[in-house]
Amino acid sequence: MAPSAQTLPTSVSDEKYANVKWEELGFGFYRTDNMYVAKCKHGESFQEGSIVPYADFQISPCSAVLNYGQGLYEGLKAYRTEDGRIVLFRPDQNALRLKSGAHRLCMPYPSVDQFVSAVKQVVLANKKWIPPPGRGTLYIRPILFGSGPILGSLPVPEYTYTVFACPVGRFHQDNAGLNLKIEDKFRRAFPSGTGGVKSITNYSPVWITLAEAKAQGFSDVLFLDAATGKNVEELFASNVFIVKGNVVSTPEISGTILPGVTRKSIIELTRDFGYKVEERVVPVEDLLDAEEVFCTGTAAIVTTIASVTFKETKTEFKTGDKTLAAKLFANLTDIQMGRVEDKKGWTVELTDATTPGLKL
């Protein structure tokens, strides 16, 4: 876990890096140097924001985000390649997902170009915090929220778009595979709700189930659909895939499941490997009958699921270096880290020239 104090442990002496013990890096918060902030008044559009020193916000107790949960966040990463480049992975897809979520939560939003520009600026402004190749990544968190005060009815007078970043290691540290609990009481998302967008309101309501599962020794929770309670949907913050023979299945995007950027990429890579990919309703029985199960996400990347427990019955799946999950993980991270040619056009290289207006 990352230390909670502001002072970070010393480590790599190379001046281009921050003083971090990269080998001990987990998936937790490190305070870095700079962040991006842009404001937007009601009835206006977002204009270019600016890089400022990382600091707390001063916000009204009556703000829309605190009183009504009007907020979205995104998650993406910057990678330091072995030949010294800095790249992003498909940031335009995160921008488009934020746009979709903003429409659902009745908020103005930055354009795709503004979104990507802000991400680039934050990465370059915190360049020394990008871990050495193979030692982690720089996690980037864009947030859009109603910052103006509101009580009872619209309009919200002000919105804020901000981006910060911190170095992270692997989200799931257990290379042997995850041990999941299928949650059959609580539901993560509901038809016509916000499960299909990255609303801040999606997560804390199911923390209780995650905390209980972890206390019982499970790695994560797999949620079922609210309509029938018979079909798997997703983990706390990851999409799920099952493998049976040459067919790979994943729950279809139907409004209750987040359209993951990694999910979308893995579907394409899986088809490149010659598998048939089905986006469909996945009954619990199909999951339990699978040969292999894995999950995907910006934090999870591609992580093998070793077992699931449903109503006290544990089912185990194939794990190890010869799984499809292992092959996909290697292929995806090779592209992200620049170890192979990016024939998909998914990566975006950053240089100081990419943000000519950046002033530090």
Contact indicator for 240, 269 with CB cutoff of 8 Å: no
For 58, residues 6+ apart whose C-beta sits below 8 A from its C-beta are none
Residue that the structure tokens 């907020």 belong to: 71
Instruction: Count the neighbouring beta carbons within 10 Å of the beta carbon of residue 116.
Output: 18
Instruction: Count the neighbouring beta carbons within 10 Å of the beta carbon of residue 152.
Output: 6
Active-site entry in 99, 120, 181, 198: 198
Compute the chain's Rg from CA coordinates. 21
Question: Is position 327 annotated as part of the catalytic site?
Answer: no
First-residue to last-residue Cα distance in the chain: 29
CA distances from 312 to 38, 73, 184, 205, 218 (A): 49, 35, 11, 24, 12
What tokens were used for 310? 């449903």
Residues tagged active-site: 198
